Structure 1
């Protein structure tokens, strides 16, 4: 190579073109384009793991991953969308926050050409795709993973108390009564926090077109029978001292799992992976997974990818291609499932043999089959821009019931009035 360059340089001097050729040789390569993806744990890891495949398709496009803690990420995205400053090309959104974005004008509608996202609708778990749709027919995000609800329980502790899976799944009241026997025999709490009982029960029995907290006309639903029952059973858990009074993701919560102090946990299927990988790996083989009591089906979490409406126009085609790779590429979806326990929203992955493999952490159960079955029964829940605020209000009122003995009807009526004032803002 040196000889070739030297010969060219000599020839150029002879021809009087040395300056122009020298500039050509010194000119830098074309600058790489940058695609910015904003995400939160562990979605950021899933994105980074996909970058080698992306680089093979687009070696000239650098992907910059901006990662923040879950709440900080969504706060930053709300700010970016409202100010049109520091907008990423692609943003990950957790379903619990989707309502804030879906009823605003900050996200790009993916239904018109060239996106025409509805042509892909049949490829996704129905409820997940529908959650990204607005009442006006717009689709503002594409689902990538879902969280089918499951009841995880310590088989060894149940056996010590003389209980079976049927005892904790037949009914919600039976679940609580089993907790009494469980604690008497083992000393273990039934659940981490009585709030967990409320969280699952308000997600059951939702009618078509309703959200968790609001109906299609933004009327609060928090005095409905499902909220009353959820508060009553949460109070029963607390009165019988069946909860450890620890919050999710706290150190005490993790210790409760490690030491066998918490016997069950209702959550998304992804929690089994977290227990195995870092929360309580020493308990491998002791846990089992069951469908929710009373034949209920609910979703816990789920992730979507979206584009800001005022994002960089020049990067829009690349951003859409990146979203398609993350959500519609079978191998990428399976890789995320295997590495991060992100249950795929893409239906064509659900027939993969991986779902039939026994899970050592769950004593060899083929629990992914049950989670697939649960996902097929979950119904879409309408999201509302005030969902996050409504959850704070309901949690506050439940705390007043549990800690101060506030009357349930009064607590829910107070919540209803506050949400009526806030609903249409």
Structure 2
């Protein structure tokens, strides 16, 4: 999942409770808001196992850059590492992670997890290298007050992309933007309308499919939103983005369910009650983020590391506490009958939003990651899409060039 983009490097030891003496020390490497969850979970883990856990947090980008170096050099990584869904494919392909199926019989837990998430943590050999710890069901957060000002109905707004854009035109009359960035709409369509036997960017044979109708449609709708002046042109995880949530600069945000934790905990807690959440427009279901726990081969404490992964992913009450603390939706399906899902969420105006999150999670189809996904994502979303939105480049021309670049840059992967 995409998390708080701040630099944070903290080494904090969880104190053992009672008279238990810590027998072994391990380190957990991740990114915020995992530290908030670990502060709650680790004392109980240490009490139960005698294993003491330090943690090292860096912002999302720096964490993965550091981990790339650690795995390449064979040193410097924690014993347990968090890997974002966008990075799991290349990290598994790097060969630097422990085969959890072979080493710890991890497949015994397969049926506990959302099928699409379990598949994402597998390598081409069918073994699992990352256990899902949380999911990112794709949803649309919206400002209730700004919706009310237009007199629109949320069900009508999300009916299809035309009605979503029409809502943006009504908002514009009140000097409010529809969304922070039109690029988020393109990403939503790309991520949630994957065809059978397709990956996000490649087909079953490993050939790029970025000139297909899915990408043309995604770019076309995003371009319409930009051309009509309906997006604020604000990049996610920037200070402007945070301020936009606080001030009501934009009325909707397409994201993963996990955004709730950030909004209520630190981005815009003062806006409590002004937000609601709904399905993505046009009846689409898809994943928007998610995280995995893995063990680097270089770890000297693999058994203890596996115990922590088991604790955080296979224990129902721990998954629920992780969910309750930072809003990270559980990857473990055994949690979905918990009473917590029926609780009203004050930040969302009393909405029982977790029921929506669960419904989305159950409707997401498995999409297998490819080792070239990170390369394709950068070329498509960070390069080609920006050329179309910012430089008015022809959509089909931009996608054709992107396909050529993807083929060239993934040739030797």
The normalised TM-score by structure 1 is 0.89
Distance in structure 2 (CA, Å) of the matches to 1:273 and 1:307: 26
Per-residue CA distance 1:302-343 (angstroms, 9 max, x = gap): 11111112322xx22211111100111112111111111111
> Deviation string for 1:103-133 (max 9, x for gaps)?
22111111125x1111111111111111111
Cα deviation digits, residues 197-254 of structure 1 (max 9, x gap)? 1110111221233221122322111101111011111110011000001111111111
CA shift, 1:31, in A, is 9.2
Paired residues for 1:219-298 under 5 Å? 219-298=207-286
Report whether the alignment pairs 1:341 with 2:327: yes
Q: In the aligned structure 1, how far is the partner of 2:309 from the partner of 2:370?
A: 24
Aligned positions of 1:260-409 closer than 5 A: 260-312=248-300, 315-394=301-380, 395-409=382-396
The CA distance in 2 between the partners of 1:285 and 1:81, in whole Å, is 44
Correspondence 1:153 to 2:142: yes
1:91 matched to 2:77? The reply is: no
Distance, in Å, in 2 between the alignment partners of 1:295 and 1:31 is: 51
Residue in 2 that maps onto 1:116 = 105
The aligned residue for residue 38 of structure 2 is 47
Segment of structure 1 superposing worse, 75-84 or 335-344: 75-84
Structure 1: unaligned runs, 5 residues or longer: 1-29
Deviations 1:276-310 (A, max 9, x none): 22222222222111111221111111111111123
How many Å separate the matches in 1 of 2:24 and 2:149?
Answer: 61
Structure 2 equivalent of residue 16 of structure 1: none
| Deviation string, structure 1 residues 162-212 (Cα, Å, up to 9, x no partner) | 21112221111221122111211x211000011111110111221233221
CA contact (8 A) 1:81 1:308 kept: yes
The question of 1:131 aligning with 2:117 is answered no
Per-residue Cα deviation, 1:22-61 (whole angstroms, up to 9, x for no partner):
xxxxxxxx995321221111123323322211221233x3
Residues 378-413 of structure 1: CA deviation (Å, up to 9, x unaligned) = 112221223222222112111111222111110000
- Cα separation, partners in 2 of 1:218 and 1:344, compared to 1, 3 Å: same
Greater C-alpha Rg? 1
Structure 2: any 5+ residue segments left out of the alignment? Answer: 1-20
CA-based RMSD of the aligned residues comes to 1.6
CA contact (8 A) 1:219 1:423 kept: no
Give the equivalent residue in structure 1 for 2:180.
192
Structure 2 CA distance for partners of 1:325 and 1:171, relative to 1, 3 Å: same
Which residue does the alignment assign to 2:13?
none
